[in-house]
Structure 1
Amino acid sequence: MLRIKISILILILFQTLLFGQGRLYEGPEDPAGDISEEREGYMNGNRVLLYFKNAGQIADIFRFGYNNPRDSKWPNNFSGTRMIDVGTLVVFSKVFVKNDSIPVTDLSEISSLRSQGQIDSMVFVQSGWIWNYDANYEGTIRWQFTPVKGYINPSQDYIAMSNKPDSWPIEGWPSRGFETKWPGEWNGRFGRGIQYADLESYFVFNDAQDLEKIVQRNDPEENLIVNGPRYHPRPGRFIGDINPDVTVQKGYPWGGLGLRVATRGFQWNNPEAKDIIFWEFDITNISDYDLPVSGFGYDIDMALGDEHSPDDDIGYFNKELDMVYVWDFDGIGVGGIIPGVFATAYLESPGLAYDNIDNDDDGLTDEKRDNQAGRIIGAYDNITNLSKFLDFYNLNEEDLKEHWEGDEDQDWSDGFDANGNGTYSYKNSEGLWVVEEGEFAGDDVGLDGVGPADINYNGPDEGECNHVPDFKEGEGCEPNFAVTDISESDMLGLTTFRLMSDIERSANNWFHADDESCYKFLNAHVFEEFTGGEPQRLGFAATSSTFPLYKGRTERISIALLHAYESLFEISSSGHPAKNLFLLKKTTQLIYEADYRFAQPPILPKLTATSTDGKVILTWDDASVKLTREPFLGNINDFEGYKLYRSTDKYFQDSEVITDNKGSKASKKPIFQCDKVDGIMGNADYGEVGGVEYYLGDDSGIRHYFIDDQVENGRTYYYALVAYDYGAPEIGDGLSPTENNITLELDSSEEIVRMGKNIAIVTPRQKAAGFEDPSITLDNTETIGNAKVQPIIFDYNEIKAGHKYKVKFSVDTLGYIKKNAKDRSKMDLVIVNNGMKVYDETEESRLIYSESPQIFPMQNILKRDDLTTLYLYGQTVAINTNFYRGEEIFSNSFDGIQLKMERMNGYFPYELSFRMSERGVNPEGSGWLVGDSEINIEPSFYEYYAFPYEYQIVFTNNTSAYTNRLNRKTGINNIEMSGSANYLFDKSFSFYVTNQTALALTGKLDTLEMVVEDLNGNGEYDMLEDKVLVGHVAIQTIGSQQLISWGGTVFGMDFRGVGSESELPKAGDIYKYDFSRPFTANDSITFTVNGAVNVDKNSLNADMDEIKVVPNPYVMTNSMEPAVANKFLNQRRRLMFTHIPSECDIRIYTSSGVLVDEIKVENEPSDGIVHWDLLSKEDLEIAAGMYIYHIKSKQTGKEKIGKFAVIK
C-alpha cells in the first residue's frame, strides 16, 4: 500500500476540487446511541476466541480479570493464552469554529481566519477505550462511541451474529430513513441472507453521547456551554428525539462529530484462515458539516501469554506487509504455557476521491465507493496509467472491456438474458424459482444481492436483470461494485505507526481522554518502532490521516488480527522472520482482495445424540448434502463428507492429536468419517498448512448415523459433527478443504452458555431398574422378494409408540434372458431394487423416508459407473441402472428406527467372476422339506437370474410323473452356458419341479420343463449317472399348433453322489430350491412400534440388586470428572450410582449413622444413574472414610443398602 503524507497545505491547493463534495445522507436514520443497547459478543468462528462489544471495543482485561483469558484467547483450547488486553477503533478530527459556534469547513477560510486570530479549533478523539476516557462530571457516563438501537433483538443479551438468528432485529434491519428490510434474514455484507464468512458479526454505533464540546467541563450541573468554543454537529437534533426511551442524557443536543460507524467482523474456519479475524469499519459523516481534517486508525494494548507484571513482549513492524507482530521474549506465558505470536495487518484505508492523485498507485485516479454506474465508457477510458492498472489488478490488456463508468476496476460482470424477457429465472409448477436455460445472472442480481442461483432467492428485485451495476445507500448494492468492492476507493494508505510500551504511553499521556496529546500521537505521520530496549508490555497505534470526511459520505478502514506459532530463535534473529505469519498474511490478503469472499464449509448439519447402556447413538440431518452452495466457486454444491469428533472436554482438546511439521497441534482426529463416492479421496495434496494435508476420505459413501460403543457409562462425552468440502485445488496453489466450526460458549464457571447445533453432549448410562425397552412387531412379511429386511429400534428417544409403518420398494427392469419375445418364457424377467419408501400408516400414509439412486446412505446402492456388464440375450450388455448391494446394509434412521437389509437383489451378478456356489441361491431357504438323500444342484451360469424363484422338486412312485414336452429342441444351454449334443428329449421322470412363486405372481403353479444331459452317452436317462437340466418354457401358438421351446436353464441336478438306487429319494420326498430375489412393486412390509414399559415392578425389584457405586473406592479423582481449564476453579468431583430406579430417594450416611446428604432422583424413565458431587448437604467437602447408602424406590418401596469408601 502506498503511503502518502497529506498536509494541510496540499489540501488547500486542491480546495477548488474539494469544495462542495458533501451530499445528503440517505442511509438509516439512527437515534442517538444508548448504553441500554450495549451488548457483548464472541468471535469464535475458528481457533481465535475474541470478546467484543458493540461500541467498537475488542477484549477487556477488566471484564474478566488478569490471568483469565476469556476475552482474548488463541488457540481457543486448554493450551491457549491471552493475546491482547483491549483494542479499539479510533476516529480523530479537528474542527474549526468562528464566533465560538459557527463551523468553518473551507480550508482556505480556515487559514485566513487563523492568520487573523478569529477562529478556534477543537480536537476530537472518538473510541471505545476502557480506561482514561472522556466522561461526564460524575464519571458515570462515557463520552464515547455508543451502540445504536435497531440492530439487535432487544430481548436477547448478545450482538447480532450470523449464526444466531434469535439475535437479529425482529422487525428487520434499518434501511433508508426509518424503513426496515429483510426481517428474518441476515443483513450480510453482500446482501439479504448472504453469508460468505463462517461467522460474521454486525453492529452500529455513533458518537452522539459525546458532550465534551457541548457541556461545561467541571460543572456538577452539566450546563451547556453558552460562552466559548463549542461544536454542535447536528443543530436542532437532540438525544432522545428519535428514541424517547433513551436512558442517559435525554434532551441534550446531539454531540460528538456526528459519526455513524457500521462494523463487521469476519472469521473463516478453513485451515488456511482459521487463525485470522477481520474487522471492517464503515464510518459515515451524518453531521451537517464537512470534517476537513480527519483520521481513522486502530489502537491495541497487548499482553501475550497473559503476563502483565512484569511483561516481556517484543514487537516488530514490517513495512512491506503493513503488519506489526509481537511475541513473548522468553516464549513462556503464565503457567508455563507457550504463547503464540500476535499480529495486526492494516488492510483498507480511507479514500481520497477528489484530490486528482492516484493515492493507491493502481493506475486509476479518484475512485469512489459510493458513486452510481454512470455511462458506458471505453476499455481504456479513465485509466491514467495502463501499466500500473494491469499490474495492480493482475490483468492482461486483452482483459480490458467496455464498462460502466462507476465500475472503475472493470470487475462487475453482467448477466446473460438469452431470451430477452428481462429476467434470469422463472417459477416452476412446484413454486420454485429456477434459472432459465442457458442464462446466468453474473453480478446483475439486484440491490438485495441475491441471484437465482442462491438458496434464499425469492424472485427478481429492484435492479436485477437491468444490465446496470446498482447501488442505493442503506438499501443494497450488487457484487463487485461501489461499497461491496474494496478496490473502488483511492486509498490513502497507512500514514502513522507507533509501537510503544505502556510506560511510554503513560509518560506522554497518549490516552484517549486527553484529546490534544492523543491527536498529536495519532496524527504524527511517523513510523516508530519500540526503542525501549528491555522487553515490556507493548501497544501500538496505526492510522491514516489526514483527509476530508464530507457530510453524507462514508470512508472505511479494515484490519486483520493474525495468530501463529513461530520459532523463538528465528523470530528473534535479524529481520525477525515469521514464516507462518507471512503465509497467513498471504491468505489474509487473498480474502481481503476478494472482497471478503473465501471458501466456506458446507451448510451446518444438526446432530442428535441418545445415550444407552455402553453406547451412544448419533444421527444427523441431510441439510449439508442438499443445501450447500459455495459462492466462492460459482454457487456449486461442493459438499464432500462428514467427520465426527469425540472429546471428554469442552474444548475438544483430547481429539486434537494431529500435529504440524513443527510439532504444534494442528487438527483433530475423527472417530468416524464418511464421504461421497466420487473419486475424490485420500489426502488433498493442495492447500496444506504446516505440512498437514486434509484427509478427504476413502469413497465410503454417505450415511447419517453412527453408533459409538467405545464409551464408558457415567462419563460425559462431547460430540461434534462437521461437514466438509473438497476445497479449490485450481485456485492459486490450491485452497484446502473447509469444515464446519465447533462452537461452544462458556461462562466464567466453564458452564456451557450456547453451542452450535452440530454439537451434542451425552452421558452413557445403564437402564433404570424396571425399564423395558420398546419393541417392534412385524405385521406382514408375505412378499415375493425374499431379502431380509429387519426394522430395529435405533433411538428409543425418537420412536413414535403405536405407529404402523409400510415399506415399499422401487423396481427397475434390466431386461430378459431371451432377446426375442417369441422365445421368452412368461417368467423371464430380470429386475432389481434400486430404492425404497417408508410410509407412516398412522399419519395418513405420510412419506417419512426414502432411498433412491440419487440419495442413499453409504454405498448401499451400486452406481452404474462402478459396474462392468451383464450377460443378456447370449451376449454382454451394459448395465443401465443402479441397484442395492447384496451384503448387509443399513438405512439411515427415521422416527428412531433403522432398517437392516440383507440379500437385497440376492447375489446379483454385476461381476461375472462370481463363484458357482454364490450364484443367486438362498442357502437358508433351500434344502429337504421331506427326505434326506444326497442330491447335487447347481444354478446355471447366468440364465438363472431371470428366474430367481422358489422351486420344489417333488418325488413320486409314478415313473411318468412328468414327460418332456418340447417340440422345439434348440437354444438349450447347460449350466456351464454351453450347448450340448447329448441332450435327451421325450423322456419321463418320476419327479417334477414346480415354481412356487408363480402362484403369487400368476395365480397358479407353474411346472418346469426337464431335459436330460446324457453324460454317459448311452442314449438313456440313468438317474445315478446323468444330469437333468431344469428350465422354463416359452409357448407360442401358431394357428392351432403350440410351439414349445426352451425358455432358459434355471438349474441342473444329479444324484451322482448316491451310492445305490436304495439311497435315491422316495415317493413323497420334497426338496426346496430357493433363489434370492428382489422385491416386486406389489411387495410391502409392515410393522408396528411398541412403546417402552417405563416401570415393570417385578423386574424393578430384581434390577435393584444390581445397584453399584462407581468408583468404589473413590480415590482422589476418576475419569467421569470433567476437565477444568480455569486454574481458579476447583475440580468438580463425581461418584456414580448405577441401575437405580428412575424415581427414588438416596440417603448417604457416615459409618456412625450421621446423615451426610440426600438425593431426590427424578430421572427420565430410562435413566438408571445419578452422580453425587461428594459434598454434604451443607455444600462442604466430605472427609475420607467409609459411607453407607440407602436407596428406596418410589414406585415399589424396594430398598437397597450398601457401602462405599472415599480415599483422598
Structure 2
Amino acid sequence: MRKTKFLILIISILISSNVYSQSRPYEGPDDPAGDIAAERTGWMNGNRVLMFYRNTTEIADHVSWFVNKWPNTLEGTKMHDGICLLLGARVFVENDSIPVTDPAEIASRTDLDTLYYCQSSYREHMDKNNAGTVEWGLYPVFGYFNEQSETPAMSNLPESWPPLGWPAAGNELIWPKEWNGRFGRGVTKADLECFFVVNDAQDQEYLGPNAPLKYFPRRIYGSDGTIISDLRIGDKKSDVTIQRGMPSGGIGIRVQVRGFQWSNPAVQDAIFWEYGIANVSEYDIPGMYFGMYTDNAVGGESSEGADDIAFFNKELNMCYSWDLDGIPVGGGKEPGVYGLAFLESPGVADDGEDNDNDGLTDEKRDNDATQKIGPYEGITNLADFLKFYSLKESDLKEHWDADEDQDWQDWNDANGNGKYDDGEEIGDDVGLDGVGPVDLNYFGPDADGTEANHKPDRKEGIAEPNFAETDVSESDMLGLTSFKYIFNWGRDFYGVGGDENLWHLHTEPTETNPQFAEAQMEPRNFVEQFASGVFELKKGQTERISMSELHAYENLAGLNSDTHDAPALFELKRIVQAIYETDYRFAQPPLMPTLVANPSDSKVYLSWDDRADKFTRESFAKNINDFEGYKLFRSTEPYFADPTIITDGYGTPTLKKAIYQCDLIDDKYGFANYGEINGIQYYLGNDKGITHSFIDNTVQNGRTYYYVLVAYDYGLPDRNISPSENIFVLEIDENEEIKRISKNVAIVQPHQLSAGYPSEGASIEGMTDAAQNINLQVDLFDPNKIKNGHTYKLKMNVVEFGHAETDTKIQSPYDIRYYNNEIQVYDVTMGDSLVYLETKNDVSGSNFDSLEAQGIVALTSEREIVTELFEGLRLRMKMPTVLPRINWDNTGWVDGSSAININLSQKYQYFPWHYEIIWNDPGVYDTTRTNLILKKLEDHQGYEIDKDNTLLDHKFNFHVINKTFLDSTGNYPKMDLIVQDVNENGVYDWKEDHILVGDSRYVERLKVTLWSGTIFSIDFRSVANEDQLPKPNDVYRLDFYRTFHHSDSLMFNVTGLTEELDEKKLAEDMDEIKVVPNPYVVTNTMEGAVANWQRNQKRQIMFTHIPAQCKISIFTLSGILVDEIEVNNSVSGRENSWDLNSEANGTVHWDLRSSEGLEIAAGYYLYHVESKKTGDVKIGKFAIIK
C-alpha cells in the first residue's frame, strides 16, 4: 500500500473512442471463486520434456529431482526448481475504497491512494492470512475438470474432463465428452494439452477488517449506480472450503491456462504455456504487467548451492542458463541448456502505435467483423505488413475489418447454391465450434448459423480459425519490456509476495534498474523474471502472455565463451516461434493406436488396431489422411534409452530405432529429404506394407520389456516439416513405479508356462493340392479370445480373367485363367460362418500386388502374407505364385522310370492342375474320344496341325487323369489323347510322333466330340528302345504351382486354453523348477535401470516353472525361515490395467529381502515350493554372492 502524493507525469495508456477498447461486461463463463479443494497436479510428458505442474499455475517444484526433467531418459537431469506466473497491477482508490480508473483523472489528481498487487501461486513467499493457513493468490476453479480425477483436464485423459461439459458464456455448458480445444470442439492441434482456470477471488490482502484501504473488485450495482452488495466467496458454489462468505477479492482476474507439447523431433524438447487473462471485475484496471518467474537449477541443486550462469538474448526474447562445470548433482552426463522464451505479450489497442512493427496500428483480438474493406485498408505501413506476414502485394485481398492480417479463409461456394456441398473448400468458415465438414467429429452445421456464412465469427473465448481469439497475430503486442536476475527473492524483496517492489522493478526502469539485464556470469543461485507492461486491462477485456521452455545439448566451451553460443537452442527457438506465429498449430501425428501384448515363453505377441491408418486427418494439408506407417520400439527400462541411439548433427541422441516397422506401399520410402532436424532425416520405411501384429521372439524370460507403438505420417514436404509420430506416456513416480501408461504402451514380462498348464496350438486337418504349397502358419495371439477346439477353413476368392477356348460350346470346365483377390476364413464348428474376410481395400493393400501387364490386383507371392487378427488368431502364408507355373519339385515319376519328354503347351496356364499319367494293365487301352476336328488344332508349341496329320481313333496303353477335380461319377476326370503324326505316314510311330494331352467336349447338337485345347504333349524320343518304355502301373506326375481354385481349401483346428489343470503334467513340470540366476552375483539383467541420483536399483531373482498357485518358502541352511511368497498368478490377481499376469505365468520374482524387509546376507539358501492345487512339492537351493 502506498499513498500517492505526486503527479504522474507519464501515462502510457491513451483514451480511445473505439468501442472495443471500452469497458464492457465480461461475456465468458461465470466461475465460482477458486478453491484449494480444486487443486490437482499433473504431468506434461508428451515429449522429451517431463514437467510436473499444479492447476494453480505453478510449474515444477524444488522438493524432488523428479518434478521436471530433460531429457526424460536415464541421462536426463532436473533443469529448474519452479516457474510461476506474475500478474502485477496498480489500482487507485479515493475515500479509502472507491476505485478511480480514468487515466486522465488519475493523472490530474494527487490525493488518490495506490494499491499494488502481484497475483501468483508459488511454493514460497506468498501473502497469507494472519493465521498463515490461507495463501492470498491464485486458486483453481471447479468445473474445468472431473472432480473425481486426480489430474487437471488433459487431452489424452477423457476421464479427466468435466462429465457434463465445459463452462462457457454465463452458466452454459458446452461440448460434453469432447476436448475443449483452443480451436474448437474436440480439436487438438498439439500432441498433448492440459487446460485449467484460476482466479484471484481468495486474495483478501486489501479486504481485511484492519486494512486501511480497501478494493472490492466485484461489487453488485443497482440501476441507479448505488452499491447493492459485494459478490462473496461461496455465492456461486456454496461448498467452497476456504474463506466462505468473504468478499470476492484480488483485482478480479480470471486466468485460463493451456499447456502444449508436440513429439515431432523438431519440437520434442520444448513445452508451451499460454495464459488468457481476463478482467472479470466491475472496473477497468488502469495499470498492469504480465510476467514470469523461474528458479534455475540446471543439473539439480546440491546442498552446497547452485553453479548456474545465464544470458539473455534480446533479439530472441529468450534467457538461457547452463551449469558452469557441466556436472549434475549425483554425477552423470553433462546437463543441457535451459531456455525460457517469451512468445506473446498483451496487446495495446488504443495507443496509436504499431507496437509489434507489423504494419498495423492498434489491431485487436476481441473485435467483431462488421464490414468488408479493401485490400489496403487498415494497413498503416505496407512494407512492414508484407515483411511481417511474409506476403507479396499481390496477396492482398478484400477482407473483413476485424481480420486485420487478412488470413481468414472464406468458404468457396463453388456452385453458388448458397449451401455447403461435398468437395467444396470450407476454409476457416467452420462456425464457432471449430469443426467443419471434413472433420471426423462433424455432426452437421452449427446451430447458431455461424458455419458457411461467409463471415468470421467470434464470441468471448471462442472464434473461428485465423480470427480474433484464435489468431495470435491479431494483436498489437507490447512486447517484452523487462528482464531481471534476482538474487534476493524473499517476500520483503522481489519474491512473489513483494507486490510493490515487483511493480517498481518491472515498470520503472532507471540507470540502476535497467530494463534488460543481459548476463549473469557469476555462478550462484538466482531466479529470473521477465515482464511486459504497463498496459490498461479494461473491464471484460482479455489479454494474453505465453512462453516456451526450451532445452538442448550444447558445447560447454561455446556456452562459456564471450558470445555464449547455443546454436541448437537458437534453432529450437526459431521453430518454437514459427509454431506460435501459426497460432500454436503444427503438424500432428496420426491418431494413436492401441497396443495389446500377450507374453509367452521366450516371446511376446503384440497387436494393434487400424484406427490410425483409417481415420487420420492432417489439418495442415486440407484434412487428407497422411498416415504412412507404424514403428515399434522396445526398451528394458521405462525411459527408453535403449532404442534412442540415432544422434543428430550435434551428437545428441534424438530418435529411436525400431525393432519393427511397416509402411504403406506407396512409393514413399527411404529417408525423408525434407524437414531435417539438426541433420537427421526421418526414415519412412521400405514400402513393406501395413500389418497390425508382430511377434518378438528375441526376449528373455523374466525380464521386463517396455513396448511403444507409434503411427507416423509422411510429413509436409512443401512446408519442410518432417514426419510426425505419436507421443507415448509412461508416467513414473518418485519411487520409479509406473503410475500410468498411454494406450500405445505395453509392459511385458515373458515367462515360462506354469506347471501343469495346458498346451495350446493349431493343427492342419486337411488340405487340397494348392493348399500344400502355402506353408500356413497359425499364430495364437490372444489366449483369451481363442475358441478351443474349433475347426476353421481357409479359402480364397477366385476371379476368372480368361479361357484358352472362347467358344463356350466346346470350352472345357477345367479351362480357366484366374487369380485370388480375397482371403476367406470360415468357422466350420459354427456352421461355416465367415469370421475373416480380407480384400485389397482392408489393410492398405499390403498383402496384394498390382500386375500391370495383366491389369489385375492379386494376393502377392513376393512376400509373406500376414492376416489381421481374428478370434485371437493370425495366419501367415506364402503364396508360391500369382499366375501358374510348373512345380518341378513335385513333377516326375511316382512309380517306374523312363526317359519320356513332357512338353508344356503355351496355354498350360489355363489348365494348371495336378495330372497323373498312368500306364494301364496289359490288354487295357484307352481310345481317343475326339472324333471330329472342326477348328484349328495346335501342338504344344502353338503351331497349327493339319487335321490330316492327326490320328483320332488310336488306342493308348496309358491314360491321363486330372486329380484336382472329381467328375459327376465321383472319379477323377480323364483327359483326352490325340496322336500328332509328326512324320505324316498315317500310323503311330512311338519314336517320332507326339501324343497331345488335352480335353474334349461332346456336342449334343452335332452328336460329335470336339477337342477343347492342348495342355501338353508326350513323346518318347529319348527312350532308347521299347524295353525302356514305361511299364503297366507306372505313374508319372505333372504338377503346377497355382493359387486357390474354388475347389481348394485348407482346414485347421485350434487347441486353446482350458481351465482344466493337468495334474500329471504339473508334477512333471515341477521337476524343472529353477532359480535364475543361480548363483546371484551383484546384479542381473532382470533388475531394471533407475534414474534417481541414489541409483538404488531393486535386486531380484526369479523362480521358473512354478505352479500358478503355490507357496514358496525360503530357508537358511540351518532351517531358519527367511521369507514366504504366496503366488497367485491369475487374471483376477492383476494389480493394474497394464498388468498382464495370468494363470499361464510360471515365474515369480523375489526381492532378496527377509519377511522383515531386510536385505539377506550372502550364502546358500533352500527353497520349498508347494502347489496349492495338488500338494506337489519341489525342494532346491540357490546361492547369493554379493
Question: What stretches of structure 2 of length at least 5 have no aligned partner?
Answer: 1-7, 221-229, 1130-1141
> Are residues 528 and 407 of structure 1, via their aligned partners in 2, closer, same or farther at CA, if it must alter by over 3 Å?
closer
Structure 1 window deviating more from structure 2 (45-54 vs 1082-1091): it is 1082-1091
Equivalent pair of 2:311/2:519 in contact (CA under 8 Å): no
> Are residues 554 and 1000 of structure 1, via their aligned partners in 2, closer, same or farther at CA, if it must alter by over 3 Å?
farther
Matched with 2:998 is: 1031
Structure 1 window deviating more from structure 2 (621-630 vs 9-18): it is 9-18
Matched with 2:1133 is: none
> Are residues 16 and 642 of structure 1, via their aligned partners in 2, closer, same or farther at CA, if it must alter by over 3 Å?
closer
User: Equivalent residue of 2:233, what SS?
Assistant: coil
In 1, Cα distance between the equivalents of 2:1061 and 2:14?
A: 91
Q: How far apart are 1:174 and its partner, in Å?
A: 0.6
- The partner residue of 1:545 within 512, 528, 533 is 533
> Are residues 209 and 977 of structure 1, via their aligned partners in 2, closer, same or farther at CA, if it must alter by over 3 Å?
farther
> Are residues 619 and 13 of structure 1, via their aligned partners in 2, closer, same or farther at CA, if it must alter by over 3 Å?
closer
Matched with 1:511 is: 495
> Are residues 972 and 1126 of structure 1, via their aligned partners in 2, closer, same or farther at CA, if it must alter by over 3 Å?
farther
In 2, Cα distance between the equivalents of 1:396 and 1:1043?
A: 82
> Are residues 174 and 1083 of structure 1, via their aligned partners in 2, closer, same or farther at CA, if it must alter by over 3 Å?
farther
- The partner residue of 2:408 within 403, 406, 412 is 412
In 1, Cα distance between the equivalents of 2:967 and 2:721?
A: 59
- The partner residue of 2:168 within 175, 184, 206 is 175
Q: 1:379 and 2:375 equivalent?
A: yes
- The partner residue of 2:914 within 950, 959, 968 is 950
- The partner residue of 2:217 within 223, 232, 236 is 232
Structure 2 counterparts to residues 500-649 of structure 1, below 5 A: 500-503=485-488, 505-506=489-490, 509-525=493-509, 526-529=514-517, 534-649=522-637
> Are residues 937 and 542 of structure 1, via their aligned partners in 2, closer, same or farther at CA, if it must alter by over 3 Å?
farther
Equivalent pair of 2:330/2:1093 in contact (CA under 8 Å): no
User: Equivalent residue of 1:1007, what SS?
Assistant: coil
User: Equivalent residue of 1:1079, what SS?
Assistant: coil
User: Deviations for 1:437-456, whole angstroms, at most 9, x for unmatched residues?
Assistant: x4121111111111111111
- The partner residue of 1:95 within 91, 96, 116 is 91
User: Equivalent residue of 1:251, what SS?
Assistant: coil
In 1, Cα distance between the equivalents of 2:248 and 2:903?
A: 94
Structure 2 counterparts to residues 492-503 of structure 1, below 5 A: 492-498=478-484, 500-503=485-488
Q: 1:965 and 2:930 equivalent?
A: yes
Equivalent pair of 1:935/1:1053 in contact (CA under 8 Å): no
> Are residues 519 and 803 of structure 1, via their aligned partners in 2, closer, same or farther at CA, if it must alter by over 3 Å?
farther
In 2, Cα distance between the equivalents of 1:43 and 1:204?
A: 17
Equivalent pair of 2:822/2:859 in contact (CA under 8 Å): yes
Matched with 1:316 is: 311
Matched with 1:890 is: 866
> Are residues 1025 and 717 of structure 1, via their aligned partners in 2, closer, same or farther at CA, if it must alter by over 3 Å?
farther
Equivalent pairs, count: 1145
Equivalent pair of 1:857/1:891 in contact (CA under 8 Å): no
In 2, Cα distance between the equivalents of 1:447 and 1:782?
A: 62
In 1, Cα distance between the equivalents of 2:830 and 2:37?
A: 49
In 2, Cα distance between the equivalents of 1:137 and 1:247?
A: 18
In 1, Cα distance between the equivalents of 2:903 and 2:248?
A: 94
Q: How far apart are 1:1191 and its partner, in Å?
A: 1.4
Q: 1:1172 and 2:1150 equivalent?
A: yes
Question: What stretches of structure 1 of length at least 5 have no aligned partner?
Answer: 1-6, 218-224, 426-435, 870-877, 910-917
Equivalent pair of 1:970/1:1046 in contact (CA under 8 Å): no
User: Equivalent residue of 2:10, what SS?
Assistant: helix
TM-score normalised by the chain length of structure 2:
0.92
Matched with 1:59 is: 60
Q: 1:1112 and 2:1073 equivalent?
A: no
Structure 2 counterparts to residues 1180-1199 of structure 1, below 5 A: 1180-1199=1158-1177
In 2, Cα distance between the equivalents of 1:153 and 1:651?
A: 29
User: Deviations for 1:393-418, whole angstroms, at most 9, x for unmatched residues?
Assistant: 11111111111111111111111233
Q: How far apart are 1:923 and its partner, in Å?
A: 4.5
- The partner residue of 1:995 within 953, 962, 966 is 962
Matched with 2:330 is: 335
> Are residues 1106 and 234 of structure 1, via their aligned partners in 2, closer, same or farther at CA, if it must alter by over 3 Å?
same
Structure 2 counterparts to residues 41-60 of structure 1, below 5 A: 41-60=42-61
Matched with 1:471 is: 458
Q: How far apart are 1:485 and its partner, in Å?
A: 0.6
Matched with 1:9 is: 10
> Are residues 941 and 82 of structure 1, via their aligned partners in 2, closer, same or farther at CA, if it must alter by over 3 Å?
farther
Matched with 2:187 is: 194
In 2, Cα distance between the equivalents of 1:407 and 1:958?
A: 101
Name the aligned partner's letter for residue 1197 of structure 1.
G
Name the aligned partner's letter for residue 49 of structure 2.
V
Matched with 2:23 is: 22
In 2, Cα distance between the equivalents of 1:853 and 1:187?
A: 38
Equivalent pair of 1:966/1:985 in contact (CA under 8 Å): no
Q: 1:71 and 2:49 equivalent?
A: no
Q: Percent identity?
A: 48
Q: How far apart are 1:859 and its partner, in Å?
A: 4.0
Matched with 1:430 is: none
Structure 1 window deviating more from structure 2 (1168-1177 vs 532-541): it is 532-541
Structure 2 counterparts to residues 96-175 of structure 1, below 5 A: 96-114=92-110, 117=111, 119-175=112-168
Q: How far apart are 1:889 and its partner, in Å?
A: 2.8
Name the aligned partner's letter for residue 1138 of structure 1.
T
Matched with 2:238 is: 244
Structure 1 window deviating more from structure 2 (76-85 vs 325-334): it is 325-334
Matched with 1:38 is: 39
> Are residues 332 and 751 of structure 1, via their aligned partners in 2, closer, same or farther at CA, if it must alter by over 3 Å?
same
Q: 1:256 and 2:247 equivalent?
A: no
In 1, Cα distance between the equivalents of 2:9 and 2:623?
A: 48
In 1, Cα distance between the equivalents of 2:1154 and 2:617?
A: 55
Measured on the aligned residues, the alpha-carbon RMSD in Å equals 2.8
- The partner residue of 2:269 within 264, 272, 275 is 275
In 1, Cα distance between the equivalents of 2:653 and 2:980?
A: 72
In 1, Cα distance between the equivalents of 2:438 and 2:13?
A: 50
TM-score normalised by the chain length of structure 1:
0.90
Matched with 1:1044 is: 1010
Equivalent pair of 2:138/2:199 in contact (CA under 8 Å): yes
Name the aligned partner's letter for residue 437 of structure 2.
P
In 2, Cα distance between the equivalents of 1:817 and 1:575?
A: 82
Equivalent pair of 1:973/1:980 in contact (CA under 8 Å): yes
Structure 2 counterparts to residues 626-1025 of structure 1, below 5 A: 626-731=614-719, 734-776=720-762, 781=767, 788=774, 789=776, 791-801=778-788, 805=792, 807-818=794-805, 824-838=811-825, 848-856=835-843, 859-862=846-849, 864=850, 867-869=851-853, 878-885=854-861, 888-903=864-879, 906-909=880-883, 919-921=885-887, 923-924=889-890, 931-934=895-898, 936=900, 938=902, 940=904, 942-956=906-920, 957-958=922-923, 960-963=925-928, 965=930, 967-968=932-933, 971-977=936-942, 984-986=950-952, 987-999=954-966, 1006-1012=973-979, 1020-1023=987-990
> Are residues 228 and 494 of structure 1, via their aligned partners in 2, closer, same or farther at CA, if it must alter by over 3 Å?
closer
User: Deviations for 1:1036-1070, whole angstroms, at most 9, x for unmatched residues?
Assistant: 67x646472443x3233344555543443333444
Equivalent pair of 1:28/1:179 in contact (CA under 8 Å): yes
> Are residues 848 and 652 of structure 1, via their aligned partners in 2, closer, same or farther at CA, if it must alter by over 3 Å?
farther
User: Equivalent residue of 1:202, what SS?
Assistant: strand
Equivalent pair of 2:904/2:1017 in contact (CA under 8 Å): yes
Q: How far apart are 1:783 and its partner, in Å?
A: 9.0
Q: How far apart are 1:18 and its partner, in Å?
A: 8.7
> Are residues 1045 and 321 of structure 1, via their aligned partners in 2, closer, same or farther at CA, if it must alter by over 3 Å?
same
In 1, Cα distance between the equivalents of 2:1116 and 2:410?
A: 81
Q: 1:1201 and 2:1186 equivalent?
A: no
In 1, Cα distance between the equivalents of 2:20 and 2:792?
A: 77
Equivalent pair of 1:38/1:55 in contact (CA under 8 Å): yes
User: Equivalent residue of 1:815, what SS?
Assistant: coil
User: Equivalent residue of 1:899, what SS?
Assistant: strand
- The partner residue of 1:460 within 445, 450, 454 is 445
In 1, Cα distance between the equivalents of 2:1151 and 2:321?
A: 44
In 2, Cα distance between the equivalents of 1:1090 and 1:816?
A: 43
Q: How far apart are 1:894 and its partner, in Å?
A: 2.1
User: Equivalent residue of 1:654, what SS?
Assistant: coil
Q: How far apart are 1:907 and its partner, in Å?
A: 2.5
